[in-house]
Amino acid sequence: MALLFLFLGWCCLVGFSEAQPTPVSGLSYDFYKRSCPKLETIIRDQLKKDFNSDIGLAAALLRLHFHDCFVQGCDASVLLDGSASGPSEQDSPPNLTLRPAAFKAINDLRALIDKQCGRVVSCADVVALAARDSVALSGGPDYKVPLGRRDGLTFATDNATRASLPPPTSNVSFLISTLAKINLDTTDLVTLSGGHTIGIAHCPSFTDRLYPTQDTNMDKTFANNLKLTCPAANTTNTTVNDIRSPNTFDNKYYVDLMNRQGLFTSDQGLYSDSRTKSIVTSFAINQTLFFEQFARSMVKMGQLSVLTGSQGEIRVNCSARNSGSGFWSVLDDGWLGDVASVF
Ligand code: HEM
Ligand SMILES: *[C@@H]1O[C@H](CO)[C@@H](O)[C@H](O)[C@H]1NC(C)=O
Ligand SMILES: *[C@@H]1O[C@H](CO)[C@@H](O)[C@H](O)[C@H]1NC(C)=O
Ligand SMILES: *[C@@H]1O[C@H](CO)[C@@H](O)[C@H](O)[C@H]1NC(C)=O
Ligand SMILES: *[C@@H]1O[C@H](CO)[C@@H](O)[C@H](O)[C@H]1NC(C)=O
Ligand SMILES: *[C@@H]1O[C@H](CO)[C@@H](O)[C@H](O)[C@H]1NC(C)=O
Ligand SMILES: *[C@@H]1O[C@H](CO)[C@@H](O)[C@H](O)[C@H]1NC(C)=O
Ligand SMILES: *[C@@H]1O[C@H](CO)[C@@H](O)[C@H](O)[C@H]1NC(C)=O
């Protein structure tokens, strides 16, 4: 019996260490093992409940982590409410379609975590774990997240945000060179774009492909249906990113691309460009391959320019840096209730 346990222990430990990439310096898989051992359970249990009433929140949280990491690193800068201090990352056009529910969910999670562990967990780590759980709970791969990020003290300007987040009208050359600047390669590009297997988009994000002239690289029936959803270029309406399985994290996004049913130019281009086409096909025919690579690319994206050690801070309130000498305590809860959704 003891031998059996020894054997199981040996096999699984080896399997574990082989599957996990080595974290960047300052991050580790067991960072909160002593200070907040229930961290990951708290987040997953809460999100399970949240997703039961709003599955769209999963997409919103996944996108939030992407925006955080691409703009000056995964430092929760995207969460900072810049309205008091002038135009910030949040005022930039790409922010306008981040869902208020995602910001609220992060603040709610932090409140739950603080109750059990005190203020030891960074907002940036909560965002990274929430993105992982969004993927796993929607049917995608589960994977370990290196932890120990610290929260940034500054947010990016509107211009810096635009420069870091490629627009949906981007061609593959532009996408490859934008991602290369942050050490993400062509495989990461095709893989991470697979995040569009869940969630929604607003008409103005893709109507350049419908009006004034229809993109010939778009399936005609698909285009005609999109025109019903978006009768004009600026219609305030949304459609799903992945028509085959809009709420399930699977490889159907790549099947969409092979059928010219990708929503954005940045999506569909991946199947036209010779540098990315074969990767799209390989994911469309092998979901396991996509899932394994998605986990790898997410861990890579999740460690972009992280703050560690004594850099940055652990924010009291994920929406504001700590400098304000505790005036937060006099403000009541429910502040997000009156933030209207933009677009
Ligand atoms: C490669 C460059 C990318 C471009 C150009 C891009 C662009 C966009 C755009 C324009 C939207 C729709 C916004 C709207 O109109 O509401 C969107 C939604 C979304 N994106 Fe991306 N994206 C990219 C990469 C990523 C990555 C890396 C991820 C995550 C791994 C991601 C996850 C999502 C998700 C989940 C949504 C749906 C959000 C929701 O339903 O609230 N995207 N993206
Ligand atoms: C950025 O978007 C979020 C979600 O829609 C919203 O809560 C926040 O107020 C926005 N920031 C600004 C300054 O508009
Ligand atoms: C932001 O970019 C625009 C357009 O490129 C430019 O006109 C403007 O001066 C920039 N603003 C700042 C603060 O750098
Ligand atoms: C790709 O987009 C960039 C930036 O918009 C543009 O300068 C370039 O000409 C485009 N390349 C092709 C091949 O269309
Ligand atoms: C929004 O899209 C739906 C179909 O998805 C369509 O029936 C409806 O007319 C659209 N609304 C507007 C204002 O265009
Ligand atoms: C859309 O554009 C048209 C023509 O430019 C304008 O009249 C209309 O007010 C715009 N609608 C929205 C919802 O922005
Ligand atoms: C699919 O990808 C997985 C993971 O790389 C691999 O083990 C498996 O052999 C592939 N399946 C097929 C049918 O090629
Ligand atoms: C958190 O900070 C935001 C932005 O400054 C503020 O609007 C909100 O009231 C604060 N929340 C709490 C619970 O103090």
pLDDT band at 11 (very low <50, low <70, confident <90, very high): very low
Cα distances (angstroms) measured from residue 253 to each of 31, 78, 127, 194, 199: 34, 26, 24, 6, 11
Q: Give the residue with greater pLDDT, 208 vs 85.
A: 208
pLDDT at 159 (0 to 100):
83
Which ligand number lies closest to the CA of residue 243? 5
- The mean pLDDT of the chain is 88
pLDDT at 323 (0 to 100):
72
The string of pLDDT tens digits covering residues 18-33 is: 468 999 999 999 999 9
Q: Assess whether 67 carries a catalytic annotation.
A: yes
pLDDT at 339 (0 to 100):
24
pLDDT at 13 (0 to 100):
42
Q: Of 85-94, 100-109, 328-337, give the range with the top mean pLDDT.
A: 100-109
Query: 3-class DSSP state for residue 147?
Result: strand
Ligand 6 centroid distance, CA of 236 (Å): 10
- Beta carbons of 197 and 250 less than 8 angstroms apart: yes
Question: Does the predicted model carry a pTM greater than 0.95?
Answer: no
User: Bridge partners of 151?
Assistant: 313
232 pLDDT higher than 90? yes
The string of pLDDT tens digits covering residues 43-79 is: 999 999 999 999 999 999 999 999 999 999 999 999 9
Choose one of 99, 339, 343 to mutate for the ligand 2 pocket test, by most ligand atoms within 8 angstroms of C-beta: 339
Average pLDDT rounded to a whole number, residues 182-196: 98
- Is any atom of ligand 6 closer than 6 Å to the C-beta of 234? yes
> Looking at ligand 1, which residue's alpha carbon is closest to its atom 34?
63
Ligand 1 centroid distance, CA of 324 (Å): 33
The string of pLDDT tens digits covering residues 292-321 is: 999 999 999 999 999 999 999 999 999 999
329 pLDDT higher than 60? no
Cα distances (angstroms) measured from residue 271 to each of 17, 201, 257, 262: 34, 20, 6, 9
pLDDT band at 96 (very low <50, low <70, confident <90, very high): confident
Average pLDDT rounded to a whole number, residues 117-128: 98
pLDDT at 2 (0 to 100):
46
Ligand 7 centroid distance, CA of 283 (Å): 10
Quote the CA–CA distance of 57 and 98 in Å, as a whole number.
Answer: 10
Q: Which of 27, 43, 47, 67 is catalytic?
A: 67
Q: Six-digit token pair at 213?
A: 């002239």
207 pLDDT higher than 60? yes
230 pLDDT higher than 90? yes
